[in-house]
Amino acid sequence: AQSVTQLDSQVPVFEEAPVELRCNYSSSVSVYLFWYVQYPNQGLQLLLKYLSGSTLVKGINGFEAEFNKSQTSFHLRKPSVHISDTAEYFCAVSDRSNTGKLIFGQGTTLQVKP
């Protein structure tokens, strides 16, 4: 079984500052890793995903994440945030079975202040 822990429930940051949202996972098998963003009253949108290959993954809206197998982490980063990045961010894993079901973390609320 897999599990995902997002270490921070809320992250306040000023506009144009860098941000890191932390994600750790637990699994006895190899997994795929994802970050999703949820804007208020909307569904989830995929930011980026790690399947294999380079451990540094670049996504949409200037976000990137780095897969660290030894630390079982997949932290999300952005060098300079905008007000419009204010949203809920979810880290998720999927085992390499054919179902593709996602196991989500509890979510991190990113609050960008002017």
Partner 1 sequence: NAGVMQNPRHLVRRRGQEARLRCSPMKGHSHVYWYRQLPEEGLKFMVYLQKENIIDESGMPKERFSAEFPKEGPSILRIQQVVRGDSAAYFCASSELAGVNEQFFGPGTRLTVL
Instruction: Tell me how far, at minimum, the Cβ of 43 lies from partner 1, in Å.
Output: 4
Residue 97 backbone dihedrals phi, psi, to 5 degrees: -85, 180
For partner 1, the closer of residues 30 and 71 by Cβ is 30
- Given candidates 28, 29, 30, 41, which one binds partner 1 under the rule CB under 8 A? 41
87 binds partner 1 (CB under 8 A): no
Element (H, E) at 58: strand 56-58
Q: How far apart are CA 104 and CA 9, in angstroms?
A: 14
| Residue of 54, 70, 71, 98 interacting with partner 1 (CB under 8 A) | 98
Q: If you search the block for the tokens 């989500």, which residue do you land on?
A: 104
Distances (CA, A) of 112 to 22, 55, 74: 17, 27, 21
54 binds partner 1 (CB under 8 A): no
CA 28 to chain CA mean position, Å: 20
Contact 108, 9 (CB under 8 A): yes
By the rule CB under 8 A, 22 interacts with partner 1: no
Q: CB of residue 5 vs partner 1: minimum separation in angstroms? A: 10
**Which residues face 68 on adjacent strands?**
73
- Closest approach, Cβ 49 to partner 1, in A, equals 7
Residues that bind partner 1 (CB under 8 A): 4, 6, 32, 36, 41-46, 49, 51, 90, 94, 96-107
